[in-house]
Amino acid sequence: MTTSPGSAAETGAAETGAVETGAVGGTAPTGDGRTARRLATRERLLDAALELFAERGYSATSMDDVADRAGVSKGTVFYNFGSKQALGLAVVQQAAARISAVADQARTPYAGWEALNATILAMLRAFDADPATCQVLFTELFRAERPWSDQLPAARATLVAPVATVIAEVHAERATAGRTTATPDAAQFEMIAVAVVGALVFSALDRATFHPGRSVEDVQAALMATISGLQA
């Protein structure tokens, strides 16, 4: 019998409610416990969808596939996201946010060129540890035909913003040292950051696919040499 998304969501809600209220053995968890379980389920679903999108692509992945990979019912997937489109957008947003957080954390202790060096290395290491995120950003972030295309600029901005900030710091460092009199605006810093992020993603995928024996540090050195004009 075919189950509609609506009835599937109701099933997921019932299953979630049974677990969260302690109806399946044990004592009822606190409100904080219920929230933690909901968040854990959501993260498990996002991770499952991310893996599948990286392996098969968004179009070839069904909600049943996500449920099977996460080890839950399809109703639980619909209960948490409502639709495949909402799940797809959430995956792209989370992928961008994960790498953005890595970049922010890496650059914070440094300034200027050292911050850019640390940011690039950290992002490459993150892509190495989580190749599915790299693949999904490469294949889905610029798909204007997706139902969530109006939300893509925000995801793109999340990914690019930390790098643009570092690029601006590098320019300020050069200006202070008297090595440039140029006065680029925020849009120009963003364009440079987009080029850097694009090179990062492509280089990470190239290494993983064609040169797995090449070290992350070698890729970082090549990228830094390519953009060394920013320091000149």
The answer on 112 and 51 residing in a single domain is: no
Tens-place pLDDT, residues 209-231: 999 999 999 999 999 999 887 65
CA distance 77 to 74: 5
Domain end call among 82, 100, 127: 82
CA distance 61 to 75: 16
The answer on 97 and 76 residing in a single domain is: no
Phi and psi, residue 222, nearest 5° = -65, -40
Q: Please state, for a pLDDT cut of 90, what percent of the chain lies above it.
A: 78
Tens-place pLDDT, residues 149-188: 999 999 999 999 999 999 999 999 989 999 888 889 999 9
pLDDT at 109: 92
Q: Which structural domain range is residue 35 located in?
A: 5-82
Question: Which of 23-27, 30-34, 122-126 shows the highest mean pLDDT?
Answer: 122-126
CA distance 192 to 231: 13
Mean pLDDT of 193-220: 96
pLDDT at 33: 78
The answer on 105 and 180 residing in a single domain is: yes
Mean pLDDT of 199-215: 96
Q: How many domains would you assign to the chain?
A: 2
Q: Which two structure tokens, joined as six digits, stand for 100? A: 């953005």
The answer on 94 and 78 residing in a single domain is: no
Res 2 pLDDT > 50: no
pLDDT at 8: 54
CATH number at residue 103: 1.10.357
- Select from 50, 54, 76, 49 the least CA-distant residue to 65: 49
Domain end call among 38, 65, 82: 82
Res 190 pLDDT > 70: yes
pTM summary value: 0.83
pLDDT at 35: 85
The answer on 199 and 95 residing in a single domain is: yes
pLDDT at 31: 64
The answer on 96 and 63 residing in a single domain is: no
Domain end call among 82, 101, 117: 82
